[in-house]
Structure 1
Amino acid sequence: MRGDTLTGPVEPDASIWTFPPAHTADENGLVGAGADLEPGTLLSAYGSGLFPMPLGDTLGWWSPDPRGVLPLSYLRVGRSLRRACRDFDIRVDHAFDQVIDACASPVRPHGWIDANIREAYLELHRLGWAHSVETWQDDELVGGLYGVAIGAFFAGESMFHSVPNASKVALVALVDAMKVTGGALIDVQWNTPHLESLGAVEIGRDDYLELLREAVDRPLAEVWARPMNFTLLDD
């Protein structure tokens, strides 16, 4: 890894909203609707086990049960994917705005990242809480993911690729980086067959909240403390 001067996130103003407990979610995982996307509100939600997603014309706050997570030791990297890792340069926080714009592309099915969400996460990035892991080829951004980091916790929000394997390699890089810099928990919200093939599993809400409390109380994983180029592990 290579980076510049260590920095840390800037604490935003506290939210004016108070969220219901995660265990009050309905059968779909919906805890409540409304509030806002201010940095303090978003950080309060993540720290409480919730995440935002549009709900019709308003904003929903979700805590599904079971919850999708990717334990760092569970990552599955086959030989072909590990070979593909050699085809990309990995960068952290070099092009956050481009990553979120690619994830928000209107041509993608089931898109949910609107202008308000985009601006909210750009502000979280400016404050040092939202981050991107990017895959590059010949100085062109070809894949990546973004999410929110609190302590040793990372909430994955979305990922994209424009060439094969680029988003998978970004996920491998995320796990590798967290392994060696003090990360503990990756939240993938709802599990999918794609994420499951890479090692993601489902756990109960109570277990998730316990892991979350432990992770957010730990120091910030160093990978998020500075813009960085990253060399993948060889195992």
Structure 2
Amino acid sequence: MLELRTGLSLVAVLLGASWGRAAAAQPVVAREAGVAGAVAGEESGGAELEAYRDLSRPPGTAARVVSTVAIGKGIRFNNPYRLQTQLGDTAESLSLTAGYLDFGAAFALGPADGVQHGAALRFSIAAGGVPQESLTPSYFVAYRGFKRALAYGRLGAAILIEPDVNVGGELAAGIGYFLLAGVALSGEIVGDLFYGAATYDAAYTVYPVVSAQLGLLIDHELLP
């Protein structure tokens, strides 16, 4: 009988020791699981924070390359040589310029949905009459905040190459309406001012010319 009691006591002691070790191990496992969860939470929160920082970062500088081809015709506000393309009844009336082809390219930098600044170069050639070509380097500004339109302007020096070399000023404003993502119909109003040789009527002749032109515009954006 004594041996049975001793055996039962030994079994009870062993079971108690085993349960104690298991109970002591449970907080360790829980702590390890909590640490792992915290680390995972920190990693997830860090990724979300980094993604938020990327989205909230101010957009970088975008570039825009614009190419144009157009046809145009102008009105000359001074006709000292009594050109035959007069619009009125007398030789002193307004006169028309010859039709012309205009080819251009421009490059600008700035926010993609804001005002961008750059430079443009235009080459124009008369489509009839006296051979005449002009080259116009200019400052270029563009705004693409509208949904389907690009507004732009130019200010520069118009250099006549033929028939006589001359340099004048040019100011232009235009708009392109996009039919496709990068292809638009364009319309432009161009104002030129040239100084010419003296005549019997004036010691200094000034030639203001206002032209209108229509064509195609191709816009290529380089986003940051």
Q: TM-score range by the shorter chain?
A: under 0.3
Q: Look at both structures and tell me which one has the larger radius of gyration over its CA atoms.
A: 2
Of Structure 1 and Structure 2, the greater helix share is in 1
User: TM-score, normalized by length of structure 2?
Assistant: 0.24
Which protein has greater RCO, CA pairs closer than 8 Å, 6+ apart? 1
Of Structure 1 and Structure 2, the greater strand share is in 2
